[in-house]
């Protein structure tokens, strides 16, 4: 054994360690080895060997020493073998050995990870009996354990033989740190109260002690107490570290409290924590959640070496604030920096592709995910099928859906909504029924929004009523504003305007302007000015600065030739400072997005676009096209109206797609507003003349134009 002992510091490989072990076995049996020899081999294996080799060697020991027990218990705990670690602890106790201040924290952490309340409380009692509860590391482990139990309860996970918070699991804070943090007589979870008692009796507390209780409170949603504890900690002379700051910042992110978040930012700058990647990432998240994207970007730029978590934070901040181009730009920089995106990265970037309808980039990301073996991730799969559906490729979305394993409610809902937006309503309804009957997945509120949207877009009034009534009758789900809006919309589209009006008027919750707007749009389609005025007045009273209500009513007046009334409303808009959202359409050509505003002359290909539109107009008129000048909401001559219709943003984008892509290429256009009636008619003619499929996504749905026919059946 002299050779083994002398070469301890020179062992650098597992094979070397195994050679020395074999040499040792030749010289002496393990039963004859000294405690030092046993411990030395065990430590070598624990440092270099696979976990199974370590466990195998330990099992071969006939009489493990206290040091060997400690090494093996801590090793098992650190490798996530929680049950194994606890089993070893029980065996050690059975051999007559008591734990020390190093073994005990490891076993307590195992109880915390497993949520084993009964064993955890028994160990706490043993710790008190052995006098270990006042040790610093044991106290910190007890704090962590009780805080974790509290989280399990709040999440409704099974803990011991109970689940969820009941009245017996809530107690009144009476004294100590919890009284300071939450106030006298505050109602708190029982296990947090236990953590508070452990904290109060600890003779010594370090930064880990405070951080454990602060994070435990934050994880249980008790934000006020967490911030109070930070103040108390600083008052007691213990300075917050990067872990404290990165733990407290998510509180202000979730509560959208930019004032206190900025105060923490100031503290981090004064104490040189602002360049720390953990603090920096938390600051980026906080400012992003508080819609201060410029501050998020500034904090990110100050990070010396941002890691992939930091990149995830800034990408998510851009996407959450609707700056999808910025999110894609940061994603490209992440890849250029040589970092590998994580699954969480794609949960932000894939929705950005979906919103911008950048199908080519979405396909590239999909290919990357396949190569990186991320495609089987259920969350990524759901995001991908949603992206393909929103980019106009419903067939590809369905293939992904059919190939996914372990479909969850999110996956089913995404596919149902995809069909709802694309038009095949009965496919959506069929999936909705299969979801529960074949897979025992009950729909939630969002799933009902999807199926009601499908009914709305296809005029399925009876089906919509049945689904709406089943929400409360069969699933105990109270309808919210989106459900009411969908039913009001399907009634209005079917011409049942009075039924829609009465339905909204009798809602069990106060209708918003968005619910009334569904009916106002139907009043425009069915040219019911009198009811439109009643509905518009509701909207004016609810949201005096809502742009859509004034525009919709003004358009109703214009379509009826009541130009003075239309002008009056536009004067009201001007006086109130209400601005119309400009119509914008965009198309992806050769991996680049091209955006067009109505009558936009700024595009480099504007001359070619107008020439193409002129030729198309002549060919369309030969085919029988008659411009619907009622869609021009200005009191001008008919010839001028025809010219204005040709300048609509979607027509500019379609013409650009025709002149810049090879024959037969599908043209995909996205518009930020509803497609007008005349552009819808014109696009049907264009699809027949040029022999192309044209896919247009507006705010309501997808329109597939092919051979002069639209998938919506002129119902949108």
Chain segment 420-442, per-residue pLDDT in tens: 999 888 999 999 999 999 889 99
Q: Token pair of 275, please?
A: 């360049």
Task: Please give the angle made by the CA atoms of 202, 206 and 210, to the nearest 5 degrees.
Answer: 80
pLDDT digits (tens, 9 = 90+) for 159-211: 443 333 333 344 444 457 877 766 654 556 788 888 888 998 899 999 999 99
Question: What sign has the CA pseudo-torsion 687, 692, 697, 700?
Answer: positive
Confidence of residue 18 (pLDDT cuts 50, 70, 90): low
Edge-to-edge strands, sheet with 694-697: 592-597, 584-589, 667-671, 694-697, 702-706, 709-710
- pLDDT per residue over 266-316, tens digit each? 999 999 898 899 999 999 999 999 999 999 999 999 998 899 999 999 999
Residue that the structure tokens 């950048």 belong to: 358
Measured between alpha carbons, how far is 300 from 280 in angstroms, rounded to an integer? 7
Poorest-pLDDT segment among 22-31, 60-69, 329-338, 625-634 = 22-31
Q: Which residue has the tokens 């009941």?
A: 166
Q: Please state, in angstroms and rounded to a whole number, the distance separating the CA atoms of residues 3 and 233.
A: 52
Give the span between the Cα atoms of 381 and 172, in whole angstroms: 45
The Cα 421–Cα 398 span in angstroms is 14
Answer yes or no: are the C-beta atoms of 245 and 279 closer than 8 Å.
Answer: yes
Q: What is the DSSP string of 367-380?
A: HHHHHTT-TT-HHH
Euclidean distance between CA atoms 680 and 678, whole angstroms: 5
Question: What number is the average pLDDT over the span 689-698?
Answer: 94
What are the boundaries of each domain within the chain? 596-710
What pTM did the predictor assign? 0.76
pLDDT score of 23: 64
Q: 655 with 587: CB under 8 angstroms?
A: no
Phi, psi of 45 (to 5 degrees): -65, -40
Per the CB < 8 A criterion, the answer to whether 635 and 563 are in contact is yes
Average pLDDT value for the chain: 85
pLDDT in tens, 96-148: 888 888 899 999 999 999 989 899 999 999 999 999 988 999 999 999 999 99
Angle between helix axes 649-660 and 606-622 (nearest 10 degrees) is 100
- DSSP letter for 706, please: E
Q: Which residues contact 493 (CB under 8 A, 6 or more apart)?
A: 456, 459, 522, 525, 715
Q: Are 42 and 71 in contact (CB under 8 A)?
A: yes
């Amino acid at each position: 054994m002299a050779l083994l002992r002398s070469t301890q510091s020179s062992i650098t490989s597992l094979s070397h360690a195994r050679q020395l072990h074999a040499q040792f076995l030749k010289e002496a049996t393990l039963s004859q080895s000294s405690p030092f020899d046993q411990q030395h081999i065990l430590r070598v294996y624990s440092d270099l060997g696979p976990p199974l080799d370590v466990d195998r060697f330990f099992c071969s020991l006939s009489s493990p020493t206290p040091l060997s027990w400690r090494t093996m218990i801590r090793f098992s705990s650190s490798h996530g073998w929680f049950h194994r670690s606890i089993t070893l602890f029980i065996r050690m106790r059975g051999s007559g050995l008591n734990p020390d201040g190093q073994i005990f924290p490891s076993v307590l952490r195992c109880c915390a990870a497993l949520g084993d309340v009964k064993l955890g409380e028994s160990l706490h009692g043993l710790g008190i009996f052995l006098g270990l509860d006042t040790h610093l590391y044991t106290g910190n482990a007890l704090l962590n354990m009780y805080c974790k139990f509290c989280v399990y309860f709040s999440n409704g996970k099974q803990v011991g033989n109970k689940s969820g918070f009941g009245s017996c699991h809530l107690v009144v804070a009476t004294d100590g740190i919890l009284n300071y943090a939450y106030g006298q007589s505050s109602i708190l979870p029982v296990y947090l109260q236990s953590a508070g008692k452990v904290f109060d009796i600890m003779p010594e507390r370090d930064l880990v002690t405070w951080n454990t209780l602060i994070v435990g409170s934050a994880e249980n949603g008790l934000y006020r107490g967490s911030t109070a504890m930070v103040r108390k900690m600083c008052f007691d002379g213990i300075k917050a570290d990067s872990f404290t700051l990165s733990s407290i910042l998510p509180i202000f992110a979730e509560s959208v409290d930019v004032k206190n978040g900025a105060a923490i930012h100031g503290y981090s700058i004064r104490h040189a924590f602002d360049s720390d990647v953990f603090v920096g990432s938390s600051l980026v998240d906080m400012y992003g959640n508080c819609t201060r994207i410029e501050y998020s970007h500034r904090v990110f730029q100050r990070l010396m070496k941002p890691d992939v978590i930091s990149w995830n934070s800034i990408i998510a901040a851009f996407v959450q604030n609707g700056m999808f181009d910025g999110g894609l730009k940061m994603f490209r920089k992440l890849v250029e920096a040589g970092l590998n995106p994580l699954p969480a990265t794609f949960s932000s970037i894939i929705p950005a592709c979906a919103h911008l309808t950048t199908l080519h980039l979405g396909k590239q990301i999909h290919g990357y995910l396949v190569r990186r073996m991320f495609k089987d991730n259920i969350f990524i799969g759901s995001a991908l099928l949603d992206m393909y559906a929103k980019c106009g490729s419903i067939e590809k979305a369905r293939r992904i859906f059919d190939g996914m394993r372990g479909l969850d409610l999110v996956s089913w809902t995404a596919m149902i909504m995809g069909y709802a937006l694309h038009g095949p309503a009965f496919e959506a309804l069929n999936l909705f029924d299969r979801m529960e009957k074949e897979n025992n997945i009950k729909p939630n509120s969002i799933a009902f929004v999807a199926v009601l949207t499908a009914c709305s877009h296809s005029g399925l009034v009876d089906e919509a009523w049945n689904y709406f009534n089943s929400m409360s009758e069969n699933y105990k789900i109270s309808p919210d504003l989106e459900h009411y809006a969908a039913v009001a919309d399907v009634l209005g589209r079917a011409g049942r305007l009075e039924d829609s009006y009465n339905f909204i008027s009798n809602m069990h919750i106060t209708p918003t302007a968005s619910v009334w707007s569904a009916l106002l749009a139907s009043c425009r389609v069915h040219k019911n000015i009198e009811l439109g005025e009643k509905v518009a007045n509701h909207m004016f009273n609810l949201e005096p600065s809502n742009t859509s209500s004034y525009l919709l009513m003004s358009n109703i007046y214009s379509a009826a030739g009541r130009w003075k009334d239309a002008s009056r409303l536009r004067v009201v808009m001007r006086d109130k400072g209400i601005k119309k959202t400009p119509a914008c359409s965009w198309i992806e050509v050769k991996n680049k997005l091209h955006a067009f505003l109505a009558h936009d002359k700024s595009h480099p290909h504007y001359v070619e676009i107008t020439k193409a539109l002129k030729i198309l107009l002549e060919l369309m008129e030969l085919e029988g096209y008659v411009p619907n000048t009622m869609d021009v909401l200005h009191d001008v001559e008919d010839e001028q109206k025809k010219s204005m219709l040709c300048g609509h943003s979607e027509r500019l984008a379609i013409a650009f797609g025709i002149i810049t892509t090879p024959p037969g290429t599908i043209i995909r256009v996205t518009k930020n507003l509803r497609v007008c009636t005349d552009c819808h008619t014109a696009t049907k003619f264009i699809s027949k003349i040029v022999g192309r499929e044209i896919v247009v996504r507006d705010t309501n749905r997808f329109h597939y134009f092919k051979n002069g026919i639209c998938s919506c059946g002129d119902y949108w």
